[in-house]
């Protein structure tokens, strides 16, 4: 599991506990499928992916990252500014925020700059991470996507 996946899991993992409630509504739909016996084979395969999608796909339900990260930062016992600092964001979710870990994350996200210029890399990492979280079903404030 890569660094991005660990961050995503740390953030989205909190929200997945609420997803079964949303996922339970589509599970009611298959009860309607047996009403048409001649069409039973065709709705059955379609119902399975629909049932699996809400539980496994973060895009199926948007996850608001703000309250999750605000709570994580508050519970850390440190003054963390996850909105502006990749180091603080990683610390908030309980991860190692060492330079080595950030360099690995930079490689995963496609950073092409000088990884020895940690200030520049950190700013790029934060923006790239916010963008990637948004692309993976995270509700990210617009000001963090600029």
Rounded distance between C-alpha atoms, residue 114 and residue 125, angstroms: 12
Residue that is written with structure tokens 């539980």 in the block? 55
Closest CA to 81 of 8, 128, 145, 73: 73
Instruction: Compute the distance between CA of residue 37 and CA of residue 132 in angstroms, rounded to an integer.
Output: 44
For residue 7, pLDDT beyond 90: yes
What local confidence, expressed as pLDDT, does residue 60 receive?
54
* Percentage of the chain lying above the pLDDT 90 cut: 64
What is the Cα–Cα distance from 86 to 59, expressed in whole angstroms?
A: 23
Q: Quote the Cα angle for 69-75-81, to 5°.
A: 50
Q: What is the pLDDT of residues 44-93, one digit of tens each?
A: 444 433 333 334 444 457 899 999 999 999 999 999 999 999 999 999 99
Using 50, 70 and 90 to split pLDDT, how confident is the model at 9? Answer: very high
pTM of the model: 0.68
Q: Which residues of 93-117 are buried (b: 16+ CB within 10 A; e: fewer)?
A: bebebeeebbbebbeebebeeeeee
Residue 125 reports pLDDT greater than 50: yes
Say how far apart CA 48 and CA 27 lie, in whole Å: 9
| Cβ–Cβ under 8 Å, residues 132 and 109 | yes
């Amino acid at each position: 599991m890569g660094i991005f996946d660990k961050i995503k899991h740390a953030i989205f993992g909190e929200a997945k506990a609420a997803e079964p409630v949303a996922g339970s509504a589509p599970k009611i739909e298959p009860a309607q499928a047996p009403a048409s016996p001649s069409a039973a084979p065709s709705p059955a395969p379609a119902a399975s992916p629909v049932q699996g999608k809400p539980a496994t796909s973060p895009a199926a339900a948007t996850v608001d990252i703000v309250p999750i990260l605000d709570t994580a930062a508050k519970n850390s016992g440190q003054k963390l500014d996850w909105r502006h600092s990749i180091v603080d964001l990683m610390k908030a979710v309980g991860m190692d925020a060492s330079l080595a870990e950030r360099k690995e994350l930079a490689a995963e996200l496609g950073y092409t700059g000088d990884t020895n210029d940690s200030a520049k890399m950190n700013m790029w990492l934060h923006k790239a991470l916010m963008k990637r979280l948004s692309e993976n079903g995270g509700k990210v404030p617009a000001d963090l996507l600029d």
